[in-house]
Amino acid sequence: MLELLGAALVNVAQAKYLVPLVAGTLVGIVGGALPGVTITMTIIVVLPFTFGLDPLQGLAAMTGVYVGGSAGGLVTAVLLGIPGTPSAIATTFDGHPMAKKGEPGRAIWLGVWASFFGGLIGGAFLIGATGPLARLALEFGPWEFFSLFVFALSMVAGLVEGTLLKGLLSGALGLVVTILGSDPVMGRERLTLGIDLLAGGIPFLPVLIGVFAFAQIMTEVERSGGGAKLALAVDGAVRLTASQLKIIWEILSRPVLLLWSSFIGVLIGVLPAIGGSAASVMAYDQAKKFSRRPEKFGSGIPEGIVASESSNNANVGGSLVTIMAFGIPGDAVTAVMLGALTIHGIQSGPLFILQNPQLAYGIFAAYLLAHPIMVLLLALGARWALRIVTVPKAALFPAVLVLCVVGAYALANAISGVWILLAFGVLGYAMVKLAFPLAPFILGVILGDQIEINLIRAIMTDSNPWLFLTRPISGGLLAASVLSFVAALWQHRRMQNKAAAAAGDADF
Amino acid sequence: MLSKDGWGGLVVLATSLLLFGLTLGLADNPLVPIGPGFYPRIVLGLTAGLGFWLFAADFVSRKKSEKPEHKLNYAAVLTQFGVFGLYVAALPGLGFRIATALYVAAASALLAPPRGVKGWLGLAVLALGTAAATWLVFERYLLVLLPRGRWTDF
């Protein structure tokens, strides 16, 4: 394993791979720093650029975006008090007060180095766990895969914000998308509704791009009309210098906080479709609970920044594990990466690491190298990131949508992909307006075909339906699905009761 | 009166039932004992049930539609979707470069109308620059083919 990793590190350090990695990390930092532009949107924008690259070049660029984006959000979170990405929300709680107290450099560098160490801990988990988990998945038959995908879907539906019912319905609607057009087992046409465009089924990338890009852009448009740009609240003369050794020591002298926050990040990353925002808020909450001075949280203390930033970068490693071991995207960003693999004819899942060891270890190497690159780029350009947030959205949004069009068109060199992009853009925006979570929908679209294929394969191998329950792993996964459903139901009820009690208190 | 949830549930229920009906017409394959309609019926049954649940929960709770705290600019959203629709429709005819320049100019101008000569000049640079840069990067350097216009051959 170490030999392969060493060779991959040397390989990725070549200009051929290093250039896309650096470019991706830079774009990620910029996208992360821009409030209103998430890492998902940034990676969607980068996707079409990877079509003309070889798979490792493309995936190195995307890994760079993921790592850079997770760290880039902290710049605006600290200096402007506006998180560049949702995963930097918890960083604002202590980062911005610290900057306001006259220590912007310390706040930024605490975040950067915490991201670095958290990311490396996530990387250690990624490298150590992917192989064993993939070997475990190789033991799976169609019953286990079916149950695993159902488990992933039920978990996402239950864990997303909002009501459980809408989470479930959103996941089920994602499955509906996959039944239109073509039967994945025999390849026969079905439910085309007389529309030629549906004859071969609906490709998932234009769906994903449309749903996420339009949902985000149109939500911004309805608020501001797009003409608004952020006022630069920090003057250009702000000093971001700090003693790096002192900052590193400040982080490493809190090993429990660093490890526990990174562990939370990894764990949340492994769970499908819950992103870095949940990880950073949860790690922040845990750091506060276990702190000897919880009352200081929110006033600009280093623990808050370390917890938030280490967890959101460790989260990236966790998210990459599930896609590489099981072929299940950990979040929307890895869903796009899954699409990039598919475009290059590479099947993700348990066989991925065995059949493509160079590519798999190349991703590990890119992930590890992206962290020092991220530190270097932020050292050189944190001040510039502040300038970028003044880009008017009226210029940014049309340009982003043009890149979405290129991505959707270039998949099959057909305009049908662009129509699908528009149709699902409308659907994505409608879902946001109806408060339907998007993550279960996308996971449903991605897993739908695999759920059907494995269900049919299992029944054709042995028509006894009880096998889904009596085979230990399959039964365990289905039991876990029911448990996660019940837990989510309990959690939602508890939150509703709390809200009702709070409303009752307010009345009196 | 139903809220957004109730109407959403009704739409999902109606669509699911319609598609469920269509699956009944799917012919089985003699080679495969399970027909192409088997799995869709499970999925559509699930969405119909969940759609009904959403509708019923809303009907029973009789909650009113919440008004947003800030006034939202739906006209801008509708216009942006419309302009994007026109862009997609025009792509095969006009080709990527012309359609993209027109789209970026129109979308950007509608989002933030340019003021004065400088504003219009900036808009022209943005529109032409986006179209030219995208075309150059993708067609020339990444060898990704972009639509060529049927009417313009450009």
Please tell me the distance from the alpha carbon of residue B31 to that of residue A422, in angstroms, as a whole number: 38
Mean pLDDT along residues A408-421: 90
Q: What pLDDT, in 10s, does the model give residues A140-189?
A: 899 999 998 888 888 777 666 567 889 899 999 999 999 998 888 888 88
Tens of pLDDT, residues A456-500: 999 989 889 999 999 999 999 999 889 888 887 887 777 777 767
What pLDDT does A388 receive? Answer: 67
Give the Cα separation of A176 and B40 in Å (integer).
7
Helices (DSSP H) in A255-301: which residue ranges?
255-270, 276-290
- Count of other CB atoms within 10 angstroms of residue A356: 19
Contact between A405 and B72 using a beta-carbon 8 Å cutoff: no
Report the amino acid identity of residue A288.
K
B107 chain-A contacts, CB cut-off 8 A: 397-398, 401
pLDDT of amino acid A230: 46
A320 or A427: which leads in pLDDT: A427
Exposure string of B64-78, with b = 16+ CB inside 10 Å and e = fewer, is eeeeeeeebeeebbe
Confidence check: pLDDT of A237 > 70: no
Higher-confidence position of B78 and A50: B78
Task: Give DSSP secondary structure letters for A386-436.
Answer: HHHTTS-HHHHHHHHHHHHHHHHHHTTT-THHHHHHHHHHHHHHHHHHTT-
Single pTM value for the model: 0.85
| Mean pLDDT of all residues in A83-104 | 84
Question: How many Å lie between the alpha carbon of A461 and the closest alpha carbon of chain B?
Answer: 11
Query: Residue A503 has what pLDDT?
Result: 58
B11 touching A (Cβ < 8 Å): no
Q: A residues 433-452 near B, CB within 8 Å?
A: 433-436, 448, 451-452
**Percent of chain A at pLDDT above 70?**
92
Q: Are B81 and A426 in contact (CB under 8 A)?
A: yes
Query: Residue A228 has what pLDDT?
Result: 53
Question: Where is mean pLDDT largest: A143-157, A212-226, B112-126?
Answer: B112-126
User: What values do phi and psi take at A184, rounded to 5?
Assistant: -70, -15
Query: Given CB atoms, is B101 within the 8 Å cutoff of chain A?
Result: no
Chain A positions in Cβ-Cβ contact with residue B134 (cut-off 8 Å):
402-403, 406
**pLDDT value at residue A18:** 95
d(CA A288, CA A295): 8
B107 membership: H or E segment, kind and range? helix B96-111
Q: What is the pLDDT of residue A336?
A: 86
- On whether any CB of chain B is under 8 Å from the CB of A396, the answer is no
Average pLDDT on A2-30 reads: 91
ipTM score for this prediction: 0.94
pLDDT (tens digit, 9 = 90+) per residue, A349-397? 888 888 888 899 999 999 999 999 999 998 887 767 666 666 788 998 9
Contact B19 A176 (CB under 8 A): yes
Which residue from B minimizes the CA distance to A188? B36
Contacts for A253 with CB less than 8 Å, ≥ 6 apart: none
B149 touches chain A (CB under 8 A): no
Higher pLDDT residue, A226 or B52?
B52
CB neighbours of A374 closer than 8 A, spacing ≥ 6? A25, A28, A29, A67, A68, A71, A112, A115, A116, A119
CA of A331, closest CA in chain B: separation in Å?
23
Q: Does B72 touch chain A (CB under 8 A)?
A: yes
Q: Which residue of A191, A216, A451 is the best one to mutate when testing the B interface, meaning the one whose CB has the most B CBs within 10 A?
A: A191
* pLDDT tens track for B24-79: 988 877 777 788 889 999 999 999 999 999 999 988 886 666 666 678 889 999 99
Q: State which residue of chain A sits closest to B24, comparing Cα positions.
A: A191
**Distance (Å, rounded) from C-alpha A369 to C-alpha B75?**
46
Categorise residue A389: left if φ over 0, alpha if ψ from -120 to 50, beta otherwise: alpha
Report the run of H or E that residue A250 belongs to, with start and end: helix A244-252
**Alpha helix locations (H) across B29-95?**
38-61, 74-94
Do A359 and A55 meet the contact criterion of CB atoms below 8 Å apart?
Answer: yes
Report the pLDDT averaged over residues A28-44: 82
User: Quick check: A426 contacting B, CB < 8 Å?
Assistant: yes
Please say whether the beta carbons of A424 and A207 come within 8 A: yes
Across residues A404-430, what is the average pLDDT? 92
Looking at the complex, does the CB of residue A425 fall below 8 Å from at least one CB of chain B? Answer: yes
Compute the distance between CA of residue A250 and CA of residue A117 in angstroms, rounded to an integer: 12
CA distances from A159 to A274, A313, A420 (A): 8, 20, 28
Check if B143 contacts A (Cβ < 8 Å). yes
Mean pLDDT value across chain A: 85
Looking at residue B63, its pLDDT comes to 65
Of A269, A270, A325, whose CA–CA distance to A131 is shortest? A325
Question: B interface mutation test: which of A406, A454, A464 has the most B CBs within 10 A?
Answer: A406
- Whether residue A330 is predicted with pLDDT greater than 80 in this model: the reply is no
- Which residues numbered 51-110 in A keep a CB inside 8 Å of some CB on B? 51-53
Lowest mean pLDDT among A41-55, A234-248, A440-454, B112-126: A234-248
Q: Does B114 touch chain A (CB under 8 A)?
A: no
Say yes or no to pLDDT of A274 above 70.
no
Confidence band, pLDDT 50/70/90 cuts, at residue A233: very low
* pLDDT at residue A485 in the model: 82
Answer whether residue A401 shows pLDDT above 90.
yes
Q: What are the boundaries of each domain within chain B?
A: 4-60, 74-141
Task: Report phi then psi at B58, rounded to 5.
Answer: -70, -40
Q: CA of B18 to nearest chain A CA: how many angstroms apart?
A: 11
Q: Kindly report, residue by residue over A281-302, the tens digit of the pLDDT.
A: 888 888 888 888 888 888 889 9
Residues 80-99 of B with CB under 8 A from A: 80-81, 84-85, 87-88, 91-92
Q: What is the DSSP letter of A298?
A: T
Q: For A133-137, A230-234, A267-271, B81-85, which range has the lowest pLDDT when averaged over its residues?
A: A230-234
In percent, the amount of chain A with pLDDT more than 90 equals: 33
DSSP for residue B34 = S
Instruction: In whole angstroms, give the CA distance from residue A495 to residue B9.
Output: 23
Hey, are the CB atoms on B4 and A52 less than 8 Å from each other? no
